[in-house]
Every structure is written in structure tokens, then in C-alpha cells.
């Protein structure tokens, strides 16, 4: 489980997160939604230990990681997979080398087994036999899928997704959403998905969080979000077609 306890993040006079609390449970997928600059990416950075809170504590599996050294956080991150907004593949490495990167860096797995794992993970994302291709030869959707294969190569307990469908057409976005659900069903990780893509969020999430002005305006199940009467939330999730910006005036 991940717990954010009374977290505030501030830069000078700007408050990014303002005394927020959140529990994320093992095996669930939580979608974090909100406008640009609302604190979504900061939430991911807190979980990864890349951002220290101004106040409050961050817990992973009951351990307070708030003040962990970089060395101790590296140990924690070995149990995390990260899918970045722009894939973040190493351009100088083949697809196979990208997927195998964590296995070679953090384990003593034999090369024969690494090749087998890489093939399995690429198969899982529908990209059989592309180990020798270079990232620059891939489409945007293929890069996203390779990034997902790399993220799950170590069978992480936690998977973090930063705008996984950004820049993709609706068909490819749906492909990525289906893969996120498939990984959840086969591996049962705790997953956090930061996204602006409401169709994807409703497709993959068990629960959702709506961030506004540094606070969690709403936390609930996907059904609760679909049926909410909160004017601010309805305005956001319907793209301004329903509800009212800023809620009641």
C-alpha cells in the first residue's frame, strides 16, 4: 500500500499540494486526473522519491520513505515500473536492450533467461520479434508498448504511468488502455495512472482522484465519478459540456 499523509509541496509562495491525504491499495489501479499544473506529476514524483514534501510523510508498504537516502530509494524503486509520457527509451540501444536494461542493472539473471524474459514481455504487448529494432524505427504507439514491456520486465509490485496515451490517436490509445488492464489482471500490481484521457481513465481505473488547486477535490470509484453531482468534477470530466468551472458561484 502507498500512503500520502498530510502532504504539502510548495515552491516559494506557490503551493502545489496542500495538506492532502491518500491511500492507494495493493492490486488496484488509481487514475489521477486534473488540469495541467494541478499536482498530478508531483504526486508521482513523491511516490518515486524524486520529490521531497515540504511537510507530511510518504509510506510504501508501511515504511516511511520520506527521508530515505538516494541509495535506499534505489532499492525501493527496484520494485517499481515506470511508463513515461514520451516513452524515454534509450535511442542508442535496441528494443531488446531497452527492455532488458533493468534486468541487467539490478539482477544477476543469466543472459539466456534475460532473452527469454524480453521475448515474453514483448509478446505480452503484441510486439513479437522486434528485439533488434531501434527506437527511432518505431511508431509512437510501438514506443509506448516497448516502454510498458520495459516497465514490467522485473515484475514490479508498483507500476506508475505518466500520461500513457498522450500523443496517440484514439485507436492506439485504446490499445494502451487494454494493455494496462491486461497487465493489471495478470500481475496484480498497485498502479497509478496520471492522465488527461478520460476515456482511458474510466476504462482502466478502479478508483480516481481529481486534483484542483492543490487539493483532492474528489476521491471515489469510477462509477462515483461517472455519476457525480460535483460541478467542478463534471465540468472537467465532460470537457466543459456539463457542470461549471469552479463549481457553484
DSSP letter string over the chain?
-EEEEEEEEEETTEEEEEEEEEEE-TT-EEEEEESTTSSHHHHHHHHHTSS--SEEEEEETTEE-TT--HHHHHHHHTTEEEE-TT----TTS-HHHHHHHHHHHH----HHHHHHHHHHHHHHTT-TT-TT--GGGS-HHHHHHHHHHHHTTT--SEEEEESTTTT--HHHHHHHHHHHHHHHHHH--EEEEE-S-HHHHHHH-SEEEEEETTEEEEEEEHHHHHT---HHHHHHHTTTSSS-TTS--
Q: Cell for 152?
A: 514490467
CB atoms within 10 A of CB 175: 18
Q: Residue 36's pLDDT is what?
A: 84
The residue behind cell 495512472 is 193
Q: Residue 183's pLDDT is what?
A: 93
Q: Residue 38's pLDDT is what?
A: 87
Q: Residue 248's pLDDT is what?
A: 42
The residue behind cell 528494443 is 95
Q: Cell for 181?
A: 488492464
Rounded to an integer, what distance in angstroms lies between the CA atom of residue 65 and that of residue 249? Answer: 41
Angle between helices 111-124 and 170-187 (to 10 degrees): 130
Flag whether the pTM goes above 0.85: yes
Tell how far CA 30 is from the center of its chain.
Answer: 9
Rounded to an integer, what distance in angstroms lies between the CA atom of residue 161 and that of residue 84? Answer: 6
The pLDDT profile of the chain, 249 residues, written as one tens digit per residue, is 999 999 999 988 899 999 999 999 999 999 999 988 888 999 999 999 999 999 999 999 999 999 999 999 999 999 999 998 877 899 999 999 999 999 998 889 999 999 999 999 999 999 999 999 999 999 989 999 999 999 999 999 999 999 999 888 999 999 999 999 999 999 999 999 999 999 999 999 999 999 998 999 999 999 999 999 999 999 999 888 776 766 543
Q: Residue 246's pLDDT is what?
A: 60
Amino acid at each position: 500500500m502507498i500512503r500520502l499523509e498530510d502532504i504539502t509541496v510548495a515552491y516559494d509562495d506557490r503551493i502545489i499540494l496542500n495538506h492532502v491525504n491518500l491511500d492507494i491499495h495493493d492490486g488496484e489501479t488509481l487514475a489521477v486526473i486534473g488540469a495541467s499544473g494541478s499536482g498530478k506529476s508531483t504526486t508521482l514524483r513523491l511516490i518515486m522519491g524524486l520529490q521531497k514534501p515540504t511537510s507530511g510523510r510518504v509510506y510504501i508498504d508501511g515504511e516511511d520513505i520520506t527521508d530515505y537516502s538516494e541509495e535506499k530509494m534505489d532499492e525501493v524503486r527496484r520494485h517499481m515500473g515506470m511508463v513515461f509520457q514520451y516513452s524515454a527509451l534509450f535511442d542508442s540501444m535496441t528494443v531488446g536492450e531497452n527492455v532488458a536494461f533493468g534486468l541487467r542493472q539490478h539482477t544477476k539473471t543469466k543472459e539466456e533467461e534475460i532473452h527469454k524474459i524480453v521475448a515474453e514481455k514483448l509478446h505480452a504487448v503484441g510486439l513479437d520479434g522486434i528485439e533488434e529494432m531501434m527506437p527511432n524505427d518505431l511508431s509512437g504507439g510501438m514506443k509506448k508498448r516497448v516502454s510498458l514491456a520495459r516497465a514490467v520486465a522485473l515484475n514490479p509490485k508498483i507500476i506508475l504511468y505518466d500520461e500513457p496515451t498522450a500523443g496517440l490517436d484514439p485507436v492506439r490509445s485504446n490499445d494502451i488502455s487494454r494493455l494496462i488492464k491486461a497487465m493489471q489482471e495478470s500481475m496484480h500490481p498497485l498502479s497509478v495512472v496520471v492522465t488527461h484521457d478520460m476515456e482511458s481513465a474510466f476504462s482502466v481505473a478502479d478508483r480516481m482522484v481529481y486534483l484542483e488547486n492543490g487539493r483532492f477535490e474528489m476521491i471515489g470509484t469510477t462509477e462515483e465519478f461517472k455519476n457525480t453531482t460535483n460541478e467542478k468534477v463534471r465540468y472537467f470530466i465532460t470537457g466543459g459540456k456539463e457542470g461549471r468551472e469552479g463549481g457553484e458561484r
